[in-house]
Amino acid sequence: MLLSPKLAGKIINEVQTVMDEDIIVVDANGIIIASTQKNRIGNFHRGAQIVLQTQGKLYIDEVMEKRLEGVRMGINMPIQFEGRIIGVIGVTGSPKEVEHFAELIRRLTELIIQETVRTEQTQSKTRGLEAYFYEWATLQAYDQHFAERGMMLGIPVQSPHICCFLQLGAAQATETEMYERLKYHFETGQDMIVRWGPGLYLLLKDVGAPFSEQRLNKRFVVFQQAFLKKYGQACAIGVGKTAGTFVIHQSFIEAKKALKAAEKSGGIVFYQDLLLDLLVEEVSEDSRKAYLEKTAEKLRGHAGLLETLQAYLANNLSLKETALELHVHINTLHYRLKQITEVTGIDPKTTEGIALFYLAVQLAE
Where are the CATH 3.30.70.270 domain residues in the chain?
145-278
- pLDDT value at residue 172: 66
> Between 142 and 247, where is the model more confident?
247
Where are the CATH 1.10.10.2840 domain residues in the chain?
283-364
**One-letter amino acid of 37:** Q
**One-letter amino acid of 353:** G
Q: What is the pTM of this model?
A: 0.57
Highest mean pLDDT among 32-41, 144-153, 179-188: 32-41
> Between 41 and 126, where is the model more confident?
41
CB 47 within 8 A of CB 58: yes
> Between 264 and 345, where is the model more confident?
345
- pLDDT value at residue 30: 92
> pLDDT at residue 74 above 90?
yes
Superfamily for domain range 283-364: PucR C-terminal helix-turn-helix domain (1.10.10.2840)
Average pLDDT estimate for 41-49: 92
- What size, in residues, is the chain? 365
Instruction: Output the average pLDDT for the chain.
Output: 86
- pLDDT value at residue 121: 80
Where are the CATH 3.30.450.150 domain residues in the chain?
5-115
Specify the CATH number for 5-115; select among 3.30.450.150, 2.60.120.1600, 1.20.1050.140, 3.10.310.10: 3.30.450.150
- Identify the architecture of domain 145-278 in CATH: 2-Layer Sandwich (3.30)
- pLDDT value at residue 134: 85
- pLDDT value at residue 279: 65
Give the Cα separation of 57 and 89 in Å (integer): 10
- pLDDT value at residue 171: 62
Confidence label for 363 from pLDDT (cuts 50, 70 and 90): confident
- pLDDT value at residue 47: 92
> For the chain, what percentages of helix, strand and coil (3-state, to nearest 5) are there?
55, 15, 30
CA nearest to 248, candidates 134, 128, 148: 134
Which of 10-19, 104-113, 276-285, 326-335 comes out lowest in average pLDDT? 276-285
Instruction: Enter the DSSP assignment of 31.
Output: B
CB 238 within 8 A of CB 153: no
